[in-house]
Amino acid sequence: MPFYLILGVVALVGLGLLARQMMASGGEAATKPVAVTMDPAQLAQVQGISVGRADAPVQIFEFADFQCPGCGEFARFVSPIIKERYVQSGTVRYVYYDFPLPMHPHAFLASRAGRCANEQGKFWEYHDVLYGRQSQWSSQRDATDSFIEYARDVQGVDQGKFRECLRSDRFAREVTENMKLGESLGVNGTPTVFINGKRLPSVPGPKELDVLIQQEVGAAAATE
Amino acid sequence: MNSLADAVVVDHTPPPLARMVIAVLALAGLLISLYLTLYKLGYLGVIQCGTGGCEVVQTSQYAYFLRLPVALWGMGAYTTLLALALAGVHGSRADDRRLGLVILTVATIRVVFSAYLTYLEAAVIRAWCRWCVVSAVLITLIFFAALFDVRRSRNLAP
């Protein structure tokens, strides 16, 4: 029957393409989350990587994945404005939490790489490099060497120490704890942004963020 | 006296074309949603998209519905449509109008959901996932085929 022949051809072609794609890119993720069990008190202690005054009236939390294009746009067009306009003036404390999504094979390693740079006090510089070159390393089979190479381009990073850190399991637990915290807060996509504990329904652009920050500053001033 | 040939009723009615079309389209949709589900669960690595919009859509918070990946819901809907269409291609169910109505109901729910997802891509996420667009086109075609099938079975009804 031609009908079943057509069905069979569609099924075979589709499954063949799927199998090919899985064999081509379903390779080794260099590292994966570790097994971590946390109670609510422990979750409350989870630390992101922050910039800005601890007592700033506006606290912006971002849950992000270095391999996510939306996070890349946020890092290129919104983060610099937050840092230049509000963090430097003491209005905002900006905290970056890792939330590597399982669909991105290099995201967990990238989060660890960010932490390895943070160990040397260069997180934000390395953060900008990783997002800036996202399209280069995202499609690679193994991004480890690229991440080590990028560390050389960040002034002040000891590449040897960075390599040693990245090639170990260091910070795997911290990244996993960040993920657990995100899950506990209902984060299921990236980037997810919270302003003073309120989760934003969508990713804000610079103008929306400006309005939201002004509202929070106004609310903080009114309660004083 | 009747011969054996007279006693055997041979059904020469061709199988309903609309249901065959629905089955083929549902199979294609099932494969696409399987691809997106595997990607969402981390088994595929980089998604083949071209524009990069697939990743933006798939990593957004709207890629989940009731705590499950949207693509998984798509798999469920397409599997149901495929099973119903296959069941209704031959035999006594070929002209079963109730089966046609069930197919139309599932297709209607899915097409409305698909329209909502397309709206999200256009107005909220502002990125296009080409696989999602293909899926939306497939389910729209399935919807029209189901509509045609119900009209056909209504015309057949005594």
pLDDT of residue A29: 33
Domain annotation covers residue A182: yes
Domain annotation covers residue A47: yes
Closest-CA distance, B36 to chain A, in angstroms, reads 10
Whether B41 sits inside 8 A of A69 (CB atoms) is no
Residue B1 has pLDDT above 70, yes or no: no
Domain annotation covers residue A25: no
Whether B56 sits inside 8 A of A69 (CB atoms) is yes
Sequence-separated (6 or more) residues with CB below 8 Å from residue B153 = B16, B95, B96, B97, B100
pLDDT of residue A28: 38
Domain count, chain A: 1
Q: Which residue has the higher pLDDT, A33 or B148?
A: B148
Q: What is the CATH number of the domain that holds A111?
A: 3.40.30.10
Domain annotation covers residue A204: yes
What are φ and ψ of residue A198, in 5° steps?
A: -95, 125
Residue pair A103/A64 in contact by the 8 Å Cβ criterion: no
pLDDT of residue B8: 53
Residue pair A170/A112 in contact by the 8 Å Cβ criterion: yes
Interface test mutation site (partner A, options B25, B34, B60, max chain A beta carbons within 10 A): B60
Whether A26 sits inside 8 A of B34 (CB atoms) is no
Per-chain mean pLDDT for chain A? 87
Domain annotation covers residue A188: yes
Tens-place pLDDT, residues A92-145: 999 999 999 988 989 999 999 999 999 999 999 999 999 999 999 998 888 988
Domain annotation covers residue A209: yes
Q: Which domain holds residue A87?
A: 40-223
Return the CATH architecture of domain B16-156: Up-down Bundle (1.20)
Domain annotation covers residue A98: yes
Tens-place pLDDT, residues B58-69: 878 888 888 888
Look at A58-72, A155-169, A185-199 and tell me which has the smallest mean pLDDT. Answer: A155-169
Whether B60 sits inside 8 A of A18 (CB atoms) is no
The domain segmentation of chain B, as residue ranges, is: 16-156
